[in-house]
Amino acid sequence: MRKKTVFVTQPYLPPLDEFLPYLEKIWSNKVLTNGGPFHQQLEQELCEYLGVEHIALFTNGTIALVTALQSLRITGEVITTPYSFVATSHSLLWNGIKPVFVDIDAKTLNIDPQKIEAAITPQTTAILAVHCYGHPCDVDAIQEIADTYNLKVIYDAAHAFGVNCHCGSVLKHGDLSILSFHATKVFNTFEGGAIVCPDLKTKIRIDQLKNFGHAGETSVVAPGINGKMSEFNAALGLLQLKYIGTAIDKRKKIDQAYRAKLSSVRGVVCLSDSGEYVSNYAYFPILIDQEYSIDRDELNDRLKAIDIHPRRYFFPLISEFPMYRGLSSANTDNLAVATQAASKVLCLPIYPDLAIEIVDEICDFISRQ
Ligand SMILES: *Cc1c(COP(=O)(O)O)cnc(C)c1O
Distances (CA, A) of 61 to 98, 165, 192, 204: 20, 22, 6, 18
Domain CATH for 41:
3.40.640.10
C-beta of 318 in contact with ligand 1 (< 6 A): no
CA dist 46 and 321 (Å) reads 35
Which pLDDT score, from 0 to 100, does residue 50 have? 98
**pLDDT, position 167:** 84
Kindly state whether residue 2 falls inside one of the protein's structural domains.
no
Say what the pLDDT of residue 272 is.
79
**Going by C-beta distance under 8 Å and a sequence separation of 6 or more, which residues neighbour residue 181?**
60, 61, 187, 188, 189, 190, 191, 192, 193, 194, 233, 237
Domain co-membership, 328 together with 230: no
Q: Cβ(7)–Cβ(184) under 8 Å?
A: no
Give Cβ neighbours of residue 87 (< 8 Å, ≥ 6 apart): 61, 62, 65, 156, 158
Mean pLDDT score, 150-167: 96
Cis ω for the linkage preceding 14 (within 30 of 0): no
Q: How do residues 291-330 score in pLDDT, each as one tens digit?
A: 999 999 999 999 999 999 999 999 999 999 999 999 999 9
60 lines ligand 1 (CB under 6 A): yes
Specify whether 257 is located in the same domain as 200: no
Whether ligand 1 lies within 6 angstroms of the CB of 169 is answered as no
308 in any annotated domain = yes
Q: What CA–CA distance (Å, rounded) separates 271 from 104?
A: 14
Domain C-terminal end among 240, 273, 294:
240
Q: Can you tell me the distance from the alpha carbon of 347 to that of 4, in angstroms, rounded to the nearest whole number?
A: 19
CATH at 284: 3.90.1150.10
The predicted model gives 62-75 an average pLDDT of 98
Least confident of 50-64, 271-285, 327-341: 271-285
Is any atom of ligand 1 closer than 6 Å to the C-beta of 88?
Answer: yes
Do 117 and 196 have their domain in common?
yes
Are residues 33 and 103 both part of a single domain? yes
Judge contact between 273 and 255, C-beta under 8 A: yes
Helices (H) and strands (E) in the chain, counts: 10, 14
Asked if residue 283 and residue 230 are part of one domain, the reply reads no
Count of beta carbons in the 10 Å neighbourhood of residue 316: 14
**CA neighbor of 230 nearest in space, from 211, 212, 258, 203:** 211
Is residue 67 in some structural domain? yes
Q: Are residues 210 and 315 in the same domain?
A: no
Query: How many angstroms does the Cα of residue 52 sit away from the middle of ligand 1?
Result: 20
Is the residue at 57 inside a domain?
Answer: yes
pLDDT at 173: 97
pLDDT of residue 47: 98
- Give the CA distances from residue 29 to residues 37, 44, 59, 209, 243, in Å, rounded to whole numbers and listed in that order: 10, 20, 21, 26, 26
Say what the pLDDT of residue 3 is.
82
Looking from the CA of residue 91, the nearest atom of ligand 1 is: 10
Residue 208 lies in a domain: yes
Give yes or no for residue 282 CB within 6 A of ligand 1. Answer: no
pLDDT band at 275 (very low <50, low <70, confident <90, very high): confident
Q: Please tell me if the CB atom of residue 156 comes closer than 6 angstroms to any atom of ligand 1.
A: yes
pLDDT above 90 for 163: yes
Cα–Cα dist 138/365, whole Å: 35
Omega before residue 314 within 30° of 0, cis: yes
256 and 232 in a single domain? The answer is no
**Ligand 1 close to Cβ of residue 84 (< 6 A):** yes
Burial (CB < 10 A; 0-12, 13-18, 19+), residue 278, is middle
Predicted local confidence at residue 273, as pLDDT: 74
Average pLDDT across the chain, whole number: 97
Q: Are residues 95 and 221 in the same domain?
A: yes
Looking at the DSSP bridge assignments, the partners of residue 193 are 58, 180
The total number of structural domains in the chain stands at 2
pLDDT tens-place string over residues 177-190: 999 999 999 999 99
Last residue of one domain, picked from the residues 216, 240, 264:
240
Query: Is the pTM value of this prediction over 0.85?
Result: yes
Domain that holds residue 141: 16-240
3-class DSSP state for residue 2? coil
3-state DSSP call for residue 187? coil
Same domain assignment for residues 202 and 251: no
The helix (H) or strand (E) run that includes residue 176 is strand 176-180
Kindly state the average pLDDT of the residues 116-124.
98
Same domain, 220 and 280: no
Which atom of ligand 1 approaches the CA of 181 most closely? 7
Burial string for 51-83 (b: 16+ CB within 10 Å, else e) reads ebbbbbbbbbbbbbbbbbbbbbebeebbbbbbb
Average pLDDT score over residue span 115-138:
98
66 lies in the same domain as 112: yes
Distances (CA, A) of 144 to 59, 105, 106, 141: 33, 17, 21, 5
Ligand 1 centre to CA of 87 (Å) is 6
Q: Which atom of ligand 1 is nearest to the CA of 184?
A: 1
Q: Is the CB of 90 inside a 6 Å radius of any atom of ligand 1? A: no
Atom of ligand 1 lying closest to residue 88 CA: 11
Report, as an integer, the average pLDDT of 239-257: 97
Domain stops at, among 240, 262, 282 = 240
Mean pLDDT over residues 162-168, rounded?
Answer: 91
**Cα–Cα separations (whole angstroms), residue 341 to 157, 286, 311, 314, 326:** 20, 10, 14, 8, 21
- 263 shares a domain with 229: no
